[in-house]
Amino acid sequence: MKKSRFTDSQIMDALKRSEAGIPVTDICRELGVSTPAFYRWKAKYGGMDVSLMSKMKELEEENRRLRKMYLDEKLKAEIVTEALEKKW
pLDDT in tens, 27-81: 999 999 999 999 999 998 888 888 888 898 899 999 999 999 999 999 999 999 9
For residue 16, being part of any structural domain is answered with yes
- The total of other beta-carbon atoms located within 10 Å of residue 32's CB is 8
Question: What's the whole-model pTM score?
Answer: 0.60
d(CA 54, CA 86): 49
Residue 44, amino acid: K
- Give residue 58's pLDDT: 92
For residue 68, being part of any structural domain is answered with yes
d(CA 38, CA 31): 10
For residue 1, being part of any structural domain is answered with no
Helix (H) / strand (E) containing 30? helix 24-31
For residue 41, being part of any structural domain is answered with yes
- Determine the structural domain holding residue 45 and report its residue range: 8-87
Q: Is the pLDDT of residue 24 over 80?
A: yes
d(CA 17, CA 27): 8
For residue 2, being part of any structural domain is answered with no
Number of domain units in the chain: 1
- Give residue 14's pLDDT: 92
For residue 69, being part of any structural domain is answered with yes
